[in-house]
Amino acid sequence: MSWYVSYIVIYFIFMFAMGVYYFFKIKTYDEYLIGGWSVGYWPIVGTIVSTWCGAAVFIGWVGMGFAVGLSGFFKFALPGIAFSILLIFVFAAPLRRQKLYTLADLFSERFGGKAGIVPSILSAFIYSVPTLALQIVGMSTIFKIALGIELGLGIFLSFALILGFTILGGLPAAIVTDAIQAFILLAGIGILFAASVVYGGGFGNIIEKTQIEYLSPVGPSGLNEVLLFALSVGPFYLVWQSTWQRVFASESEKVAKKACITGFLIAGAISILPFCIGIIARQFAPADIRPDLLFSYVTVELLPPAVGGIVLVGLLAALMTGADSFILQGSSNLTRDLYSRLVNPNANEKQLMATARWTVVIISVLGLIVAYAMTDIVTLYQWALRLSATVMIFPFLAVMFWRRTTKKGVVWSMVLSAIATLGWPYLAIGIDHTVFGFLVSIISLVGISLITQHDKTEQVRAVYWEDLDSANSDDEKIIVPPDSNSISS
């Protein structure tokens, strides 16, 4: 246990030293929530990897590999990576040029008024809070294994440590420490994978003794279920505000695109490993073990404390980086979308900074409440992904590509698709819940937009096409010399 204590203490001393440093360094609200649009290539790569590889990777996906095999990678990880890279490749440049803070900012700028309230509430409360709770519970599990701390006390200790670091350093501290934690995370999961292979008797023995359906991309459940899960999970990552914040924080469009794509490719490669560890664990773990406890079991059983401590710190790094990102995501929504736009549009820098830190506290406390109250946070997290995707994807695409979309069409689309998705379990219909939510979203969006007129608060434009035209126009201005007439004459 002394190894575990030493590693954990050293880790948190480093984290809080960085938090205190950035507490005195950060001067503006822009720096606190968005890094002042000035973060370089490698810090962005590191924070993408660290944020992606949170509790879901270390705890959830190891258990999923044990339960369903490699198909879990194709249900959850691969769709998320693919849609994240699509977001970066297609939308990073036009989004960054808007100088936004949040997803809701895009809707508020396009439609004016209170159009950003729905996406803001979704991002802050429906997504950020339960995902933060997942990180808190994951960290409390580490404290129980390593330090013998009772689960309830561990949850509060986790909350206090996460809140303390986040409120001190904001996004700059999170991004810098994420870049360093990415190496700890890679070392931890790599060590655990290698130990699992050795303990399982090598690749040949593992493949020979593993049932074929657990090595299949479609698994025991078949292709249809894999595709439906991919549809439920993947599209959400087009509107995952954590990625948007990294795009906005980058020092240039070029850095945003290259660093984020690199980060997600690395994260995708890492994501295969926990599923493989879960599959290998079928050779030696108790058949009735709870999937969410498998990671802890494998770490303790396979590794001596001196090495296992590195793995546990790798998990702590993943949990911390996920937690601070989700808190800052929710804080951005509350500060920018609700306080700055609706409550106090004339707020000065001091008021915005104070509000940002207070909203960090609010999101953290709500996450603590959910961590204590919920018995099945993973299911809640999956519903948060599903609801966010069905409500936001088509409105987002309409804002980017369809000039004819109206404020009433977008708002009613978000409201109706939310009702449809939440009400699906009670409707007894044969359509998959995600498909049903998407159908309600696009039909209501297109139908209501076509029968309504643009509101007087709207800036009537398709952001993607107008941004593209503007970029082409700028290119032409650069290419043509200012004294071309005198040269030709």
CB contact at 8 A, 106 and 399 = yes
pLDDT of residue 378: 63
pLDDT of residue 489: 31
| 3-state SS, residue 223 | helix
pTM recorded for the entire structure? 0.83
Q: What 3 state SS string does 87-126 have?
A: HHHHHHHHHHHCCCCCHHHHHHHHHCCCCCHHHHHHHHHH
* C-beta neighbour count of 132 within 10 angstroms: 28
Looking at the chain, the number of H-run helices and the number of E-run strands are: 23, 0
* Residue 324 neighbours by CB under 8 Å, 6+ apart: 162, 165, 166, 173, 174
pLDDT tens digits, one per residue of 291-308: 777 887 788 778 888 888
pLDDT of residue 472: 58
Identify the CATH homologous superfamily for domain 2-378: Sodium/glucose cotransporter (1.20.1730.10)
pLDDT tens digits, one per residue of 320-359: 877 888 898 888 888 888 888 888 888 888 888 889 889 9
pLDDT of residue 56: 65
Which of the pair, 461 or 445, is modelled with greater confidence?
445
DSSP 238: G
Distance CA 322, CA 330 (A): 13
Domain borders along the chain are 2-378
pLDDT tens digits, one per residue of 179-224: 777 777 788 888 889 989 988 888 889 998 999 999 999 887 788 8
In one-letter notation, the amino acid at residue 291 is: P
* C-beta neighbour count of 472 within 10 angstroms: 10
DSSP 403: T
- b/e per residue, 208-235, with b = 16+ CB within 10 A? eebeeebebebbeeeeebbebbbbbbbb
pLDDT tens digits, one per residue of 126-177: 888 988 988 898 888 888 878 888 988 999 999 999 999 888 887 777 777 7
pLDDT of residue 465: 83
